[in-house]
Amino acid sequence: MTGSRVLAFGHYQPDKVLTNDDLARVVDTSDEWIQSRVGIKSRRIAADFESVADMAGKAAERALANADVRAADIDMVIVATCTAVDRSPNIAARVAHTIGVPAPAAIDVNTACSGFPHALALADQSIRVGSARRALVVGVEKLSDFTDWTDRTTCVLIGDGAGAAVLEACDEPEVSPVLWGSVPEMGEAVRIEAPSNTFSQAGQTVYRWTTTALPEIALKVCERAGVRPEELGGVVLHQANLRIIEPLARKIGAVNAVVARDVVESGNTSAASIPLALSKLIERGEIEKGSPVLLFAFGGGLTYAGQIIRCP
C-alpha cells in the first residue's frame, strides 16, 4: 500500500454547557469582552466522573460506527492529549481495552494543541511503511482539570471534549505528508507545569507569532500536498481564537473553503479541537466528500503540524 485515507470521524462533548454569562458570575469578565477578544460564546465542561479516557472512548466508538469498522479490525490506537492525569497505563491502552481493540500498538502523543495532526501523521506513516493497516486516532482533553477558575485570562478560553478518526491503507494516498516543526525558544509561551499544574500562557506572544508566522507555514503545507489554497474545500485550524482563525484563512487565499469556527461554541479544546470541529462539519454535510481539507495546529512547545486530507 502507498498511503492511507480517513474513513470517518466521530466526536464527543460533555453535556454541561458553560456560557460567558455563567463565567461573568465567577470572575470579572463579560460576554462582550470574551467574544470581542477570542470569539467564544460557550464551551462544554466534563463532569467530575468523566475522565479523558472516557471521552476518548466515546468519540472513538462513534468514529468506528461512522466508518463501519469493527474495533477488532484496528491494529493501532494513537491518542493525542496533554491532560491525562495518570502516567500509566496510557490513554491509548485504556481506550483500546474499553472499546475492545484486541492487540494494537497503543501510543499517547503530547504536543498539546497540535497533538491531533501529529498523531494523524504518525498513523499515516505507520500505514505507509506497513506497520499498521487500520488505525484509530483520537484527540481528547479535559482542560477543566487544569484550569484556574479565578484567572479570567485563561478560564474563559478552555473547553472539554474529544474527536476521533479511523484510517486505513489505500493505493491512492488521501493523507498528505505532514509538515511539522517547533519553535523551542518559545517553548515557555504555553504551559501546564508543577507545582500549580494549571494552564497558563503568554497570550500576546502566541497571538503575534500565529498571526505573523503561521500563514507562510500553512502555505507550505499546501505546497507539500500539491494543493492550491483556492482548491481547498475546508480549512480546519486549531480552534484557539476566532481572531486567529478567520484572518489566517483569508491570508492563505482559501477563498472557496468552509472555515471551521467551532471555537465559538466549544472553546479551546486543545488536541481535540481539529477532529471535533471537522466531525461536526461532516455530520452537518458542510464539506463535500472527497474535497481537500487543510488541518493545521499549533501548541505548547511551541509545536506545529499540518497536512491535507480528503474529506471522508
* Short-list 1, 10, 3, CA closest to 278: 10
Contact 27, 155 (CB under 8 A): yes
**Catalytic one of 20, 90, 241, 268:** 268
271: nearest Cα among 164, 169, 197: 164
Distance of alpha carbon 251 from alpha carbon 116, whole angstroms: 23
What is the residue whose three cell numbers read 481495552?
A: 97
268 is catalytic: yes
Q: Are 164 and 9 in contact (CB under 8 A)?
A: yes
Cβ count within 10 A of residue 288: 11
Choosing from 155, 238, 241, 311, the catalytic residue is 238
Give the amino acid at 257.
A
Catalytic, 238? Answer yes
Phi/psi for 66 (5° steps) reads -65, -30
Catalytic residue of the set 113, 155, 222, 311 = 113
Catalytic (active-site) positions: 113, 238, 268
